[in-house]
Structure 1
Amino acid sequence: MTHRLSLSTLPHLAENVQRPAVDPRDLGTGLVHLGVGAFHRAHQAVYTEDAMAAGGETRWGIHAVTQRSPRVAEQLAPQDGLYGVLTKGLDDAGSPTAQLRIVGAVREISFPGEQTAAVLSRLAHPATHVVTLTVTEKGYRRSGTGLDLDDDGVRADVAALADELGGRAVDRAAGSPIGMLARGLARRARQDATPITVVTCDNIVHNGAMLTGLVQEFLAAAGADDVADWVHDHVTFPSTMVDRIVPATTDADRAEAEALAGLTDAGLVVAEPFRQWVIEDAFAGPRPAWERAGATLTSDVAPFEDAKLRILNGSHSYLAYRGAVLGHRTIAEAVTDPVLGEEVRAFIDEDVIPTLTPPPGVDLADYRDSVLGRFENPALGHTTIQVAMDGSQKLPVRLLGTARDRLAQAAVPHRAARAVAAWMVFVARAAEGRNGLELDDPLAPTLAEAAADGGRLGERLLGIREIFPAELAEDDRFRSAVLTQVTELSD
C-alpha cells in the first residue's frame, strides 16, 4: 500500500523528485490567497516558494482559501498542505518528459463555508501583508463593468458587513470572494492594522483597477464609508499578467506522479514548463521577492497584459470553439489541424498584432510562435471543452477588444469576427448537446434560449448586452462579418 504525501512521509519521497525549496515547518504565514485552484498551486505558490528560497525569507507561507467547494481543502489538509506539480514537456527529439516537484508554500487552508471566521482573522492579522486572488472571471460577480449587487452571495456579504459595522455580532459564511475580501479589509481597518497589497491574478483587462472598483462599490453598498477611506489610503491593487497552461489533472497523471514519487498525492496539479508573471510595482508594504523567482516587476503591465490576453488567450479560445465543433478533443489536436492552425495564425497576424503595442523586449511575431508552439504540446492533454467553458465571461476580454480596436483603425476585423462566430456555433451545438458538447457558462440559460432560434443565431447572440455592447453589436461592419461567418461555419 502506497502512503499518502505529508510532512511525516516526505522523507520517503523518491530521490528523483524535487523536495520543497524551503522547509515547510519553518514558514510563517504572511500571504492569503483566495481561490486555491490548480492554477494558483502551479503558478503563484511556486513563485512564492522559490522567492522565499532565493531571498532566505520564511514569512511568506500561504493561507489558502477555497471557493464554493471544500474539495481542495479535503485534498491538501491531510497532506499538511503539500502537493506535487507534474511538469510535462517535450525534449529536443519531441518525446514527452515529466518532472515532479513537491511544493510546501501552502501552510494553512480554509473552506469559507465552514471557516470564514478564520479567513477574516488571517486577513486582518498584522503579519499578513499580501492577498492574491485567482477566482476566475465569473468569480468577481460582475454585471457589466460593476459589481452585481443582485447576486445572492454579494447581497448576503453586504448585509453581513453592515451588521458587523453596526455592532451586531455576526458569524456568517462569506458568499463571494469580493465579500470575503472586503469584510477582511474592514476588520483590518477597525483593528488599525498595517497597510496591505491585494494582487488579482485573473485574466481581466486592467485587473487591479477593476478590483479596486468592485471593493469600493461593495463598501459603499454596505455603508462602510470610513472603511472605504482607509482602503483608499492603506491598500494597493497592482495589476498583473499571469501565464502558465494548467490542464485538468487526470487519473493517469496521478498514477504517473505516484510512480515517480512513491507516494499518493490527492492534490497533484499538472503544468507546462513555461511560466510568466508580470506585476505592477505598486505595493503598500512588504512582499515576497518574486522577481528573484523570475517574475517581472514593471510600472506598466498593460502592454504585457494586452499581448497575452489577445494573442494567447484569444487564440486559445478560438481553437477551443472551432476545435470542439470539429471534433478535436485537445488544444494540441486543434492547433495541429492544418486548416485550423492556419486560421488561428491568420487571426493573430491580421487582426491581433495590429492592435498591440509590443511590451519592452518582446517581438510579437516571436511571441506568437512561442504561444502556438506551447499549444502543440500533446503531453498536457488540455481539452477544448475545458478552455471553452465560461465563454460569455472570456469573450469580451479575449476577442471583442481586438475587434473594437480594428474597427477604430478603419479595418473590418474579419478574422476576429470568425472567432466570435466560432463561439456562436459552439454555443448552438453545445445547447443541443450535439457530439457530446456541453454548455458550461454562467449565462447558459440565456445562451440556450438565443440559440434555440437557429435561423437567427448570430443576431440573437449579438443582442445579449452582457456580452456585446451596443456600439459593437450594432456596427454594421462587425455585425455583417459575424453573421456571414456564422452562416459559413454552420454549414
Structure 2
Amino acid sequence: MELNFNGLSGIEGDIVLPSFDVAQMQKSGKETPRWVQIGPGNIFRIFVARIAHDLVADGHMWPVTGVQTLAAEEMDRQLGKHDLMSLGVTLNPDGSRDLRVIAGLSEALATQRDDDFARLVEIFRNDSLSLVSFTITEKGYAVHTSAGDLQPMLVEELATDPRAYHAHTMALMAGLLFHRFEAGGAPITMLSTDNFSHNGDKLRESIMIVARGWEGNGAVSAEFIAWLSDESKVAFPISVIDKITPRPNDSVSAQLAELGFSDMDIEFVGRTPVAGFVNAEPTEYLIIEDKFAGDRPPLEDYGVQIVDRQVCDDFENMKVTTCLNPLHTALAVSGCLLRMPTIDSEMRDSALAAMVHELGWNEGLPVVVDPGVVAPEDFLREVLEVRFPNTYLPDDPARIAMDTSQKLPIRFGETIKKYIERDLPLDSLHTIPLVFALWLRYLTGIADDGEAFTLASDPLLEELQGMLAEVSVGMELSSDEAHRIVQPILSNKQIFGVDLYTTPLAAKVEGYFIELVAGPGAVRSVLDREYTA
C-alpha cells in the first residue's frame, strides 16, 4: 500500500480514510485559497491539518496552503510524495494505535523556489485569503541577537525591496503583507500557534519592527504602517497549542510496514527525520483569542476553544510557563546528560520524576492562575501521571532540548518574574536553579558518563559554548572561577528573562554548576542527593 492519489483506494485495514474527493478539494483550494500555514511540520500535519480536513468533510471549504520557508526537501519528502496527505498515528496510553489519513492541504509551496514565491505573492494579494497560521518555533520570530542588536540578516533585508523574496521569515511576512496592502488591504488574521507565551504579540512585534525599518528607509508608506497597526485589518491573536508530537518513531514505521505500507520509511534531511506519517499522543488543546480580522472557519465546532484574551493568557501561562513546558525542558537537558532514551523512561527514574513533580507542584503551581477551561491541578496531574509516562509515546529528550536558549525566558523567566511581582521568596526555589545549572552542564557537550554527545540545534549554541570553552568535566572550579565563567550567561536577560544576579538564584546556579562539572557521575550523584536522599 502507498499513501498517494493512486494508492488511496487500495488502503486496507482499520484506517480512517477521507470521505471526500481529495483531488477535487485540492483543485478548489488552489482556485480559492483561504488559509495559509507557514511551517507545515508534524504538529500541524496531525492536528491543525486534521481540523481543516474535518471542515472540508463537513462542507466548509477551508483547505490549507502549506508554506515551507526552510529546508524545502523536508516538505517534499513528508508531503509532496504523498500528494499532500499524511498518515496520522495516535499513540494511546493502553498501547493501541488509531490510524487516519489526513487530507487538509490543497497546495504546498517552498518560498526559496522562485515560482512558489511568486504563487505565494499571488495568494496574499487575493481577497479570498483571510487566515495565516504559523508553526515555526520560537527562533523563527527572533529579530534581535542575544546582545539586543538587530540580526545581521535582517539589517541586510531592510536595505532591499519589501516586495522581493526575503530569507528571514519575519521580513518575508512583512513583505507579503505589503503586497496585500498594495492590492487593496483586505482584512487578514495572522495566527501564531507556536509554543511560547504571547505568541501573537511577538509575531506582531517582529513584523512591525521590519515594517518600521522599511518605513525609516523610505521603502513603505506611513499608510501601510497604519493599516498594519489596525487590528480590524490585520489581527494577531494569541493562542496555545498542546499536543505532544515526537519525531517519527521506528516502531511505528515498522508497524506500518507490517500493515502493508511500502512508503512509510523514516528518511533524514540532514539530522531531521521525516516520514509520511506523524505519531502523537491523543491529548490535544488549541485555545485561540477571539480576535480575528475578516472571515474565519467555524473552528469552535471542531474542538478549538475561542476565548477572550484573559482566558487564553491564563491557559497559556499555565501550560507554557508552569505546568508542562518547563517540566519538558528539565527532563530534556537531564535526559541528554544521562543518555535516557525517552521522556517516559525518565519518568520511571525516581530522581527525575521527583524533580519534575517538585518543579510543577511546588514551584510552578503557586503562581498559576486558573484559566477556567481546565483546572491547573487536573492539567498538571494529567501531564505527570498520563502524558509524560506514556510508554507508547517514545519522545526523544534531544527533540525537546532544541533551541533551549530561546525557551528559557518564557518557560522559566516568567515564573521568576511572578515570584518577584508577588513578593514570593525566590530563595525557596530549588529545582529551577538546578535546571539552569544542568543546562550549563549540558552545553559542555559531555554526558555524565564522560563521553561526548551531540547537542541539539540552538541559535546561540556556538556563542554559549564559546563562553564555557575553558570548562571541562573533571575540573575543580573555585567559586570565583565559576562566577567569572558563567556570569556573562546568567546575567543575560535575553536568555533568562531577568538578570539572575538581581535574585538569589545566580549563586545557587553557580554552586550546582561547580558540583555538576566535578567529574563523570556527578550529574547522577547530584540528582539522587537532591531528590531521593
Q: 1:484: how far off?
A: 2.6
After TM superposition, the structure 1 stretch with the greater mean CA deviation from structure 2, 263-272 or 298-307, is 263-272
1:268 aligns with 2:277: yes
1:164-205: CA deviation from partner (whole Å, max 9, x where unpaired): 4xxxxxxx5430221221111111111114211110011221
Q: Specify whether residues 260 and 124 from structure 1 end up closer, same or farther in structure 2 by C-alpha distance, changes over 3 A only.
A: farther
Name 1:339's counterpart in structure 2.
351
Task: Tell me the alpha carbon deviations over residues 30-66 of structure 1, each in whole angstroms, 9 at most, x when there is no partner.
Answer: 1001111112112211122223434x212x1111011
Answer yes or no: is the 8 Å Cα contact 1:200–1:207 preserved in 2: yes
Task: Tell me which amino acid in the other structure corresponds to 1:319.
Answer: L
CA distance in structure 1 between the aligned counterparts of 2:516 and 2:298, rounded to whole angstroms: 49
2:270 aligns to what? none
Q: Which residue of 2 aligns with 1:63?
A: 65
Uncovered stretches (5+) of structure 2, i.e. residues with no partner: 265-274, 472-476, 523-533
1:117 aligns with 2:145: no
Task: Verify the 8 A CA contact 2:51 2:104 in the aligned structure 1.
Answer: no
The residue number in structure 1 matching 2:223 is 226
User: Judging changes above 3 Å, is the alpha-carbon distance between structure 1 residues 183 and 485 closer, same or farther for their aligned structure 2 residues?
Assistant: same
Look up the match of 2:140.
Answer: 139
3-state SS of 2:444 partner: helix
Provide the rounded CA distance (Å) in 2 between the counterparts of 1:140 and 1:406. Answer: 27
Aligned counterparts of 1:44 and 1:147: Cα–Cα separation in 2: 34
Contact 1:403–1:417 (CA<8 Å) still a contact in 2? no
Residue of structure 1 aligned with 2:490, choices 456, 462, 475? 462
With structure 1 as the length reference, what TM-score do the two structures score?
0.90
Whether 1:187 aligns to 2:185 is no
> Residue type matched to 1:208 in 2?
G
Q: Distance in 1 between matches of 2:300 and 2:446?
A: 43
> Aligned equivalents of 1:146 and 1:473: distance in 2?
16
- Give secondary structure in 1 for the equivalent of 2:443: helix
Give TM-score scaled by structure 2 length.
0.83
Partner of residue 441, structure 1: 458
Moved more, 137-146 or 356-365: 137-146
Residues 190, 272 of structure 1: CA spacing in aligned structure 2 closer, same or farther, 3 A cutoff? same
Residue 167 of structure 1 aligns with which residue? none
User: Is residue 199–residue 239 contact of structure 1 (8 Å, CA) maintained in 2?
Assistant: yes
**SS of the counterpart of 1:466?**
helix
Query: How far apart are the structure 1 equivalents of 2:180 and 2:438?
Result: 47
> Where does residue 49 of structure 2 map in the other structure?
45
Query: What is the CA–CA distance in structure 2 between the aligned matches of 1:205 and 1:72, rounded to whole Å?
Result: 27
Q: What is aligned with 1:168? A: none
Higher relative contact order (CA 8 A, sep 6+): 1
Partner of 2:500: 473
Alignment of 1:80-479 (within 5 A): 80-91=83-94, 96-114=95-113, 115-143=116-144, 149-152=150-153, 154-162=154-162, 164=163, 172-223=164-215, 224=220, 225-233=222-230, 234-260=233-259, 262=261, 264-265=263-264, 266-300=275-309, 301-309=312-320, 310-372=322-384, 373-408=386-421, 409-412=423-426, 413-430=429-446, 434-454=451-471, 455=477, 456=482, 458-469=486-497, 471-479=498-506
Structure 1, residues 79-128: CA drift from partner, whole Å, max 9, x if none?
2211111111222xxxx221211111111001111021111221221111
After superposition, the Cα gap between the structure-2 partners of 1:335 and 1:414, relative to the gap in structure 1 and judged at 3 Å, is same
1:251, CA displacement in angstroms? Answer: 4.1
Distance 2:350 2:193 in 1: 33
* Contact 1:18–1:100, Cα closer than 8 Å, also in 2: yes
C-alpha separation in 1, matches of 2:47 and 2:5: 22
SS in 1 for 2:405: helix
2:16 corresponds to which letter in structure 1? Answer: Q
Q: Structure 1 segments of 4 or more deviating over 6 A?
A: 144-148
SS in 1 for 2:496: coil
Q: Secondary structure at the match of 2:161?
A: helix
Q: Compute the displacement of 1:20 (Å).
A: 2.4
Two-structure CA RMSD over aligned residues (Å):
2.3
Per the TM alignment, residue 480 of structure 1 is displaced from its structure 2 partner at its CA by 1.8
**Gapped regions of structure 1 (runs ≥ 5):** 165-171
Q: Deviations over 1:362-415 (max 9, x none)?
A: 222221111122011122211111111111001111112112322443312222
- Percent of residue pairs bearing the same amino acid type: 26
Contact 1:30 1:127 (8 Å CA) reproduced: yes
Quote the Cα distance in structure 1 between the aligned partners of 2:18 and 2:209. Answer: 40
Whether the 8 Å contact between 1:424 and 1:461 is mirrored in structure 2 is: no
- Give the count of matched residue pairs: 473
Partner Cα separation in structure 2 for residue 389 and residue 307 of structure 1: 22
Structure 1 contact 451–460 (Cα < 8 Å) conserved: no
C-alpha spacing 1:361/1:468, structure 2 compared with 1 (3 Å)? closer
How far, CA to CA, are the matches of 2:487 and 2:159 in structure 1? Answer: 40
CA contact (8 A) 1:390 1:440 kept: yes
Partner of 1:169: none
Q: Which residue of 1 aligns with 2:4?
A: 6
Confirm or deny: 8 A CA contact 1:209 1:239 kept in the other structure: yes
**1:403-446 deviations in Å (ceiling 9; x for gaps):** 23224433122221122222112112359993424252111111
The offset of 1:148, in angstroms, is 6.3
- What does residue 530 of structure 2 align with? none
Q: Could you say if the C-alpha distance between residues 272 and 318 of structure 1 is closer, same or farther in structure 2, counting changes exceeding 3 Å?
A: same
Provide the rounded CA distance (Å) in 1 between the counterparts of 2:66 and 2:416: 38
Deviation string 1:435-471 (CA, Å, 9 cap, x unpaired) is 42425211111111122233325434314443135x5
Judged with a 3 Å threshold, the aligned counterparts in structure 2 of structure 1 residues 297 and 183 are, in CA distance, closer, same or farther, namely same
